[in-house]
Amino acid sequence: MEKKLKVAVLGATGSVGQKFIELLSNHPWFELTEVAASDRSSGKKYSEAVNWIMNTPLPEKVKEMIVQKCEPNLKSRLVFSALDSSVAGEIESEFADNGYFVVSNARNHRFDENVPLIIPEVNSEHLEIIKTNKKSGAIITNPNCSTIGLVMALKPLHDNFGLESVNVVTLQAVSGAGYPGLASLDIIDNVIPFISGEEGKMESEPLKILGELKNNTFDLAKIKISAQCNRVSVIDGHTECVQVKLKNMASAEEIIQVWESFSSPPQKLNLPSAPKQPIVYLYDEKYPQPKLHRNLERGMAVSVGRLRECSLFDYKFVVLSHNTVRGAAGGTLLISELMKAQGYLDKIL
């Protein structure tokens, strides 16, 4: 059996960091060997530093790990970043400058010139840009959690019919605000119609992801996108109500057909975290629902439902995806598996 690649998690004590630890506990290719976080946690045993909120037990091996500082002296050359964006920018650059491959969930480097913004099913070819990197390491970014669900559903429409404009209204889970996140009195029995910076990310990130990499520059897709983002009292799973205007009109049957038949490199390469069916169309008019569908395909599938004609745009539908799995830790693992399968990690093996 091939030796596992040693990996570290930066920001290992937070909401996304804990999800990494859970997903890495039996990973066939990666072995979690180091955890790092802020000065509040470093030097402590992980079990003492963390307030474990996953609903699976904290793995025995990780309990005893001593939390490191986020400094580029770790033994693992592949690091997953779940750092707060107030510190991620600088720390991730330091790691990349020192030869590490950093796969990040933070927003800071998503629009850097030679940093790809990857959804493995959508734009795996954008990884090519890291070959132009002058640093010895590289930063690879995972998009915003709501962007991922949206763009997964848009990709087959864009490829087959062309997208002219998109309107999206989100209903986002509280785990998306990190841990401890919002005060319970602010969110229980409530909807908060503002998530700082979120609408801008949802309007800009899809254009890079659905754009083309030409002569080592990203040519942004020309689609008009408008987003409104709301925080709702759901623990996990972001729901998005989407309206689309297509360049070439299609029937509802054709749209469902391109979603259901959507398949891409992660499925063809049979990557460990890849969902067999990346987009699951649910025919019951009450679906998708976060409580029922966020864990489809271990949280890696995006569910879509309620496709119907729209009197303002051409069609409207509802998308649901698990924000800390598909939208964060699971998405990052899938990027890293793709990089390993395509030889991008050979120099650190």
C-beta nearest to ligand NAP: residue? 14
Q: How far is the CB of 162 from ligand NAP (least distance, A)?
A: 29
Strand partners, 32: 7
The one catalytic residue among 109, 126, 158, 238 = 238
The residue written with tokens 């990052």 in the block is 332
Interacting residues with ligand NAP (CB under 6 A)? 11-17, 37-38, 40-41, 70, 82-85, 87-88, 105-106, 145, 175-176, 178-179, 323-324, 327-328
Task: Give the C-alpha separation, 160 to 251, whole Å.
Answer: 12
Contacts of 3 (CB under 8 A, 6+ apart): none
Q: Nearer Cβ to ligand NAP, position 104 or 243?
A: 104
Q: How far is the CB of 304 from ligand NAP (least distance, A)?
A: 20
Cβ-based neighbour number of residue 291 at 10 Å: 10
Q: Where are the beta strands (DSSP E) in the chain?
A: 5-10, 30-37, 68-69, 78-81, 101-104, 138-141, 163-172, 191-192, 212-214, 217-219, 224-232, 238-246, 279-282, 302-309, 315-321
The secondary structure element, H or E, covering residue 58 is none
Looking at residue 137, what DSSP letter applies? S
Q: Nearer Cβ to ligand NAP, position 264 or 332?
A: 332
Task: Give the C-alpha separation, 212 to 221, whole Å.
Answer: 7
Q: Nearer Cβ to ligand NAP, position 205 or 314?
A: 205
Q: How far is the CB of 253 from ligand NAP (least distance, A)?
A: 34
Distances (CA, A) of 7 to 36, 201, 274: 11, 28, 19
109 catalytically annotated: no
The one catalytic residue among 27, 126, 145, 293 = 145
Helix axes 145-161, 198-209, angle to 10 degrees: 40
Q: How far is the CB of 174 from ligand NAP (least distance, A)?
A: 9
Task: Give the C-alpha separation, 128 to 103, whole Å.
Answer: 15
Cβ-based neighbour number of residue 143 at 10 Å: 27
Q: Nearer Cβ to ligand NAP, position 179 or 313?
A: 179
Q: How far is the CB of 207 from ligand NAP (least distance, A)?
A: 19
- Chain centre to alpha carbon of residue 182: 21
Task: Give the C-alpha separation, 344 to 128, whole Å.
Answer: 9
Q: How far is the CB of 85 from ligand NAP (least distance, A)?
A: 4
Are 171 and 240 in contact by the 8 Å Cβ rule? The answer is: yes
Contacts of 141 (CB under 8 A, 6+ apart): 103, 104, 105, 106, 109, 110, 115, 116, 117, 118
Q: Nearer Cβ to ligand NAP, position 70 or 163?
A: 70
Q: How far is the CB of 236 from ligand NAP (least distance, A)?
A: 8
Q: Nearer Cβ to ligand NAP, position 53 or 249?
A: 53
Q: Nearer Cβ to ligand NAP, position 50 or 341?
A: 50
Burial level of 277, CB count in 10 A (0-12/13-18/19+)?
middle
310 catalytically annotated: no
Q: Which residues are catalytic?
A: 145, 238
